Amino acid sequence: MSQQASLFAGLMSGTSLDGVDAVIADFATPHPRVVSSAFVPYPAELREALLALNAAGHDELRRASELSVRLATLYADATRAALESAGLGAQDITAVGCHGQTVRHQPALGYSLQLNHPALLAERCGITVVADFRNRDIAAGGQGAPLVPAFHDRILRDVAEHRVVLNVGGISNITDLAPGRSTRGFDTGPGNMLLDGWAARHLGTPYDAGGQWAAQGRVLPDLLEALLAHPFLAQVAPKSCGREEFNLDWLDTLLPESFAAVDVQTTLLELTARSIVEATMRECGLPDALLVCGGGVHNTSLRMRLAALAPSVRVASTAELGVSPDDLEALAFAWLAQCCLAGVAGNLPEVTGARGPRVLGAIYPA
């Protein structure tokens, strides 16, 4: 395989709404190599506009269309930044896999909406774009998410060690890689979403850096009990969720009459940690290792709580295995683009609940 044919770009913008992760990946060898990466943050007003589209509002079609154009421009900027970092040009890349920005996720109603303008992205980059990865799986009766477990299976599975890969983005999801068993995966519930929203409301910052603020408070037992009673947390896999289930409006209905904001943040961190560990133990059994990736890997307080709640489990970053925790999702969508062009199924029916393997993605030629 020539270098040109083996190079793909991957773009990921998740429910945390922080920005665009871009990677250039080389798939010439069995274990893909990240050639370069880039991150383009969302301007604050774009983040607010995207967040507003997660709920019903005025003139949604126009707003969504205009935001899709803006997102394609940012996706192109991120792609060019990754190319320039590696000294590469558009002609060197086979295709870009672009997930798009999720604003609605309703698989039970037959759809999941990721804002994107892949035709414009192909024009801006001069590279073939593969997009719309979720809806073919949903059409086949699946959840359309999570989609990264198939990639985790390829690069992180071990013949002897029982590994669970934990991606903590806005939503948390896990991939169960147990020796001798088929790969499973599902969303466990909130990741950074509520933590970030509460920090933005009370600190005026996009997130609680390192979980330092949460470390200063105490858990509110009654609030934690009410949060953990959310019906999604008791559902069995396959399952996936989004801001429809977990948001600040929902949190506001459960808050006690008086509270300290820092204690709510501590309780939200405990909710994230508890929901992850309880779902892992219930659905996967006791793993040897919990390998963390996504933005939550940088939340030291969260990682400490995970380790405390599962003391016999090694809690580590995927960096331990040579895979950057910040690049993993974008890398997965570069791989899914490669699968699409090759006509290879990209979903795992055991994960999503689809009727069978399906080739995922729609192709927009350069």
DSSP 53: T
Q: Once rounded to an integer, what is the mean pLDDT over residues 90-109?
A: 97
Confidence of residue 176 (pLDDT cuts 50, 70, 90): very high
Looking at the structure, tell me whether residues 94 and 192 fall in a common domain: no
User: Is residue 327 a part of any domain in this protein?
Assistant: no
Q: Are strands 95-106 and 129-131 parallel, antiparallel or unpaired?
A: parallel
For residue 202 the two structure tokens come to 């009370």
What's the residue count for the chain? 366
**Contact present, 136 and 147 (Cβ < 8 Å):** no
User: Is residue 51 a part of any domain in this protein?
Assistant: yes
Mean pLDDT, the chain, whole residue set: 96
Question: Is residue 212's pLDDT more than 80?
Answer: yes
> How many structural domains does the chain have?
2
CATH of the domain at 252: 3.30.420.40
Could you report the per-residue pLDDT of 253-271, keeping only the tens digit for each? 999 999 999 999 999 999 9
pTM for the full model? 0.95
Looking at the structure, tell me whether residues 106 and 218 fall in a common domain: no
Looking at the structure, tell me whether residues 97 and 156 fall in a common domain: no
Q: Once rounded to an integer, what is the mean pLDDT over residues 224-249?
A: 97
What is residue 16's predicted lDDT score, i.e. its pLDDT? 87
Looking at the structure, tell me whether residues 294 and 153 fall in a common domain: yes
What is residue 15's predicted lDDT score, i.e. its pLDDT? 87
Looking at the structure, tell me whether residues 82 and 168 fall in a common domain: no
User: Is residue 349 a part of any domain in this protein?
Assistant: no
User: Is residue 345 a part of any domain in this protein?
Assistant: no
**Contact present, 133 and 116 (Cβ < 8 Å):** no
Question: Is residue 1's pLDDT more than 50?
Answer: no
Residues 6+ apart with CB under 8 A from 223: 254, 255, 256, 259, 264, 267
3-state secondary structure (DSSP) of residue 212:
coil
Instruction: For residue 64, give Cα distances in angstroms to 53, 248, 249, 252.
Output: 7, 22, 22, 27
From CA 87, how far away is CA 341, in angstroms rounded? 25
Going by C-alpha positions, the residue among 154, 113, 66 that lies closest to residue 334 is 154
Domain of residue 81 covers 3-142+355-364
Question: Is residue 284's pLDDT more than 80?
Answer: yes
User: Is residue 119 a part of any domain in this protein?
Assistant: yes
Looking at the structure, tell me whether residues 171 and 240 fall in a common domain: yes
Angle at 8 between CA 7 and CA 10, to 5 degrees: 150
For residue 141 the two structure tokens come to 């009766």
Q: Once rounded to an integer, what is the mean pLDDT over residues 266-292?
A: 98
Angle at 183 between CA 178 and CA 186, to 5 degrees: 110
Looking at the structure, tell me whether residues 203 and 283 fall in a common domain: yes
User: Is residue 236 a part of any domain in this protein?
Assistant: yes
Looking at the structure, tell me whether residues 297 and 218 fall in a common domain: yes
Question: Is residue 3's pLDDT more than 90?
Answer: no
From CA 257, how far away is CA 242, in angstroms rounded? 27
Going by C-alpha positions, the residue among 362, 341, 358 that lies closest to residue 94 is 341
Could you report the per-residue pLDDT of 136-164, keeping only the tens digit for each? 999 999 999 999 999 999 999 999 999 99
Residue type, 357: P
User: Is residue 281 a part of any domain in this protein?
Assistant: yes
Looking at the structure, tell me whether residues 247 and 131 fall in a common domain: no
What is residue 232's predicted lDDT score, i.e. its pLDDT? 98
42 exposure class (CB count in 10 Å sphere: 0-12, 13-18, 19+): buried
185 phi and psi, to 5 degrees? Answer: -170, 155
Looking at the structure, tell me whether residues 29 and 175 fall in a common domain: no
User: Is residue 326 a part of any domain in this protein?
Assistant: no
Looking at the structure, tell me whether residues 96 and 15 fall in a common domain: yes
Could you report the per-residue pLDDT of 106-140, keeping only the tens digit for each? 999 999 999 999 999 999 999 999 999 999 999 99
Going by C-alpha positions, the residue among 283, 42, 266, 36 that lies closest to residue 166 is 283
Looking at the structure, tell me whether residues 195 and 274 fall in a common domain: yes
